[in-house]
Amino acid sequence: MSETTDQKTARLRAELKQARQDLLAAEAELAEQLADIAAFEYLFEAHVGYLVDRLAQLEAEVDEYLRRIKQMRHDHLFDSSYRPVDEQFNRTWHSPPSQKREEPKARQVPPATQAEIKRLYRQLARRFHPDLARDEVEAAFRTERMRAVNDAYRAGSMVELMALAEELEGYVVHTAVPSPSPQTEIQMAQALQEELARIQRRLYRVDHELTNLPNRPMVALMVEVKFGQREGRDVLAEMAADLERKIARKEVERDMIKSQFNHLT
């Protein structure tokens, strides 16, 4: 027995309500995980990232001194206007080496700010929930604002979240959301079907992003750090110590090559 138009509309409304709940939960989970990753990246940069930059800078200095030494030796063997093939190629196709960056100072993660962002996000998530809507148009409005809340949370933007909170304070349903125009049951069913398909597509994308989060190198490192903490290890401190040793060796190498260069000039 095929369902009537009224039955189809009722079924689609129920499916749409469940899909919105699933999407809201998935977006909240994704936003929370992305916020955790962003906080870890900040922590990594504060304890390890600047050492990675320092090592890369030293390696660039060593490469530049070696290049200049090679060029000086060529100049002694050939006319000073002569340029070896590899240098001609690099001059033609590669940009000049970037200037040295100042070494950034280690930063500290402000946990209070992260907690405030998360607390405000949860408040807005509850108040903008599409299930509080009185009709389909208001539900679409709430879904759109909830997406903006999630985007602001993922970006760690307290300013945007506060602006959304102010918008919510002044929100009045009958003025902010216009009443829907009269529709036939068939038109309503079609509109519900289209909205359901849109939400399902969004849910698929969010689920796909959640599934692929563990493949990010920074996430893998974050997991390694957490497991290390359980074993009483500080993985980031170990990485920093290893980088400091490499930096010390590279500084010695740089100074030796620099001294060799100075003797040739």
| Predicted confidence pLDDT, tens digits, the chain (265 residues) | 677 878 888 888 889 889 888 988 888 888 888 888 888 988 898 899 999 999 999 999 999 999 998 888 877 776 555 555 566 656 655 555 555 555 545 444 444 467 777 777 877 777 777 666 666 667 777 777 788 888 878 777 777 777 777 766 655 444 444 444 445 777 778 888 888 888 888 889 889 989 998 888 889 999 999 999 999 999 999 999 999 999 999 999 999 999 988 888 7
In whole angstroms, give the CA distance from residue 160 to residue 153: 8
- For the chain, how far is it from start to end, CA to CA, in angstroms? 95
For residue 221, give both structure tokens.
């490192």
State both tokens at 118: 């998360």
Token pair, residue 15, equals 């499916």
Q: What local confidence, expressed as pLDDT, does residue 82 receive?
A: 55
Query: What is the structure's pLDDT at 174?
Result: 41
Smallest CA-to-CA distance from 187 within 136, 132, 134 is with 136
156: left (phi over 0), alpha (psi -120 to 50) or beta: left
Q: Where are the alpha helices (DSSP H) in 130-234?
A: 136-154, 158-169, 173-176, 185-212, 217-230
- pLDDT given for residue 87 in this prediction: 63
If one counts every other C-beta atom within 10 angstroms of the C-beta of residue 82, the result is 12
d(C-alpha 27, C-alpha 122), whole Å = 12
pLDDT of 111 reads: 46
CA torsion angle for 12, 16, 17, 20 (degrees, to 10)? Answer: 180
Q: How many CA atoms lie within 13 A of 207 on its CB side?
A: 9
Say which residues have a Cβ less than 8 Å from residue 158's Cβ, sequence separation at least 6: 113, 116, 117, 120
